[in-house]
Chains A and B, each alone.
Chain A
Amino acid sequence: MGFLSASSSIVRFDARPAARLDRDALCEAVNRRAFREHDEDGLPKPEAFGWVAIHDALVTELEPSDIFFQQYVVLGFRYDRRVAPAKLVRLETRRAEAERRQSQGLERLGRAVRKEIKEEVAARLLLRALPSPSLFECAWDLDRHTVYFTGKARGPREAFQTLFRETCGVSPIPVIPYLAAERVGLPGSIVDAVRAVEPSRLARPADPPAAAAAASAAAAGNGSGVPW
């Protein structure tokens, strides 16, 4: 899901770049954290993420010209998850436990041994599991101190925030309403006042009973309200 997709979800972060941004140093930092499918031992990881070129997700050696684009830093972000199917882990664990009992002539295995077996089985199956990749994009507007990221799901979003902080040396802060008040050009006194307000009650005191009746009537009318 990217900026040029027909439809994309955008999360906005606040990130103030250093006064003097060293483009070559940033590019080196990006390349150090480019996407790698395997860890240092050449083994697959349950979760792997890193930078890729925004114009081609297979490009993981980036030049400054791949990253710097007018006032933006633009990057692709690849996030892979590798999961061994839970049912297969259970079945293979049972098989491994039975083999261990037989080979050691035991009737039962202790909890610690069973846990160890389960971890071994999960790790073994993980080596054979295929990764499920997701591609996202980010654009850091250096002039407006704003990062746009095209993913909302918690796992990739948190991984992105961590990677961005490690790479760029600045924590991207999600622009929630409380923080947005500061970014929209309001005087400090108004920002402080807005942050201090308590929730307003929009229903009149006499409204709630009528609301229940109306809600029942509406629900009975077309059934489109789905409480969950």
Chain B
Amino acid sequence: MKEDFLSVVEAKRFLGREFLTWLLFRVEEDGGRLQVGDDVVELALGDRVVMQEEGEKQARLTLFDEGDMRPELGAGLRGGKLIDRARIAVTRGERRWELSLDGGMLTYDSLRCPKLGDRDAALADDPRALFENDLFLRLADIEEVVGFLDHLFASFCQLRASARWENETLPLLRAWVSDLGA
């Protein structure tokens, strides 16, 4: 069972990497403003991207730059790599999350949530209640950003499973890759 699971993890890792690559394509194409359910969420690429090749070689390329990463990003994608991890910022209204999204495993590294709101003065004398209050707010923050990313992943899956992927999205993605930073 464990070996079966590990082989699925390896064989299907590309799915999450394609999702992350498609997500950055959407950020570039839509200016980072994405409709997520009833909300508009802004996504921005941060200063760190890890690209990885599929297959046996699995060559990696880490890009870390405060400037324009497009030339190297484009070169990596044209060379057959996909985006494996990327630092991204998610903003909804005044609330902002930062995280490194691991597309291959769908984990959320170095997650920074919005600041916790003002504390209820009535809790000031009860550290345990204060802790529970903060914990509940923080878990809600985590579920909110994970929910956005799940929603985007669902959109990707719908597209990826349809004929639109081959007929419409893939040509656009290839044109974007071809021109990225060239």
Minimal beta-carbon separation of B145 from chain A (angstroms)? 9
B35 beta carbon closer than 8 Å to chain A: no
Contact status A194-B174, CB under 8 Å: no
Contact indicator per residue, chain A 52-69, by CB within 8 Å of chain B (1) or not (0)? 001100000000000001
Total of A-B residue pairs, C-beta within 8 Å: 183
| B146–A12 touching, CB < 8 Å | yes
- A-B contact list, 28 entries, CB within 8 Å: A4-B134, A8-B111, A10-B107, A10-B146, A12-B106, A139-B135, A139-B139, A141-B143, A152-B109, A174-B105, A177-B12, A177-B15, A177-B104, A181-B153, A184-B151, A190-B158, A190-B161, A194-B15, A197-B161, A202-B170, A203-B77, A203-B177, A214-B78, A217-B71, A224-B64, A224-B65, A226-B61, A228-B60
* Minimum distance in angstroms from A52 CB to a CB of chain B: 14
Complex partner residue of B78 from A148, A177, A194, A210, CB under 8 angstroms: A210
Report if A226-B64 is in contact (Cβ < 8 Å); known contacts: A10-B142, A148-B139: yes
B21 near A202: Cβ-Cβ < 8 Å: yes
Choice from B112, B142, B173 contacting A148 with Cβ under 8 Å = B142
Provide the main secondary structure of the chain A interface. Answer: mixed
Q: Say whether chain B's binding surface is mostly helix, strand, loop, or mixed.
A: helix
User: Using a Cβ–Cβ cut-off of 8 Å, how many residues does chain A contribute to the interface with B?
Assistant: 61
Q: How far is the CA of A72 from the CA of B64 in the complex (A)?
A: 38
Interface residues of B (CB under 8 A from A): 5, 8-9, 12-16, 18-19, 21, 54, 59-65, 67, 69, 71-72, 74-80, 82, 103-112, 128, 131-132, 134-136, 138-139, 142-143, 146, 150-151, 153-154, 157-158, 160-161, 165, 170, 173-174, 177-178, 181-182
Given A6-B112, A176-B105, A203-B77: A193 and B161 within 8 A (CB)?
yes
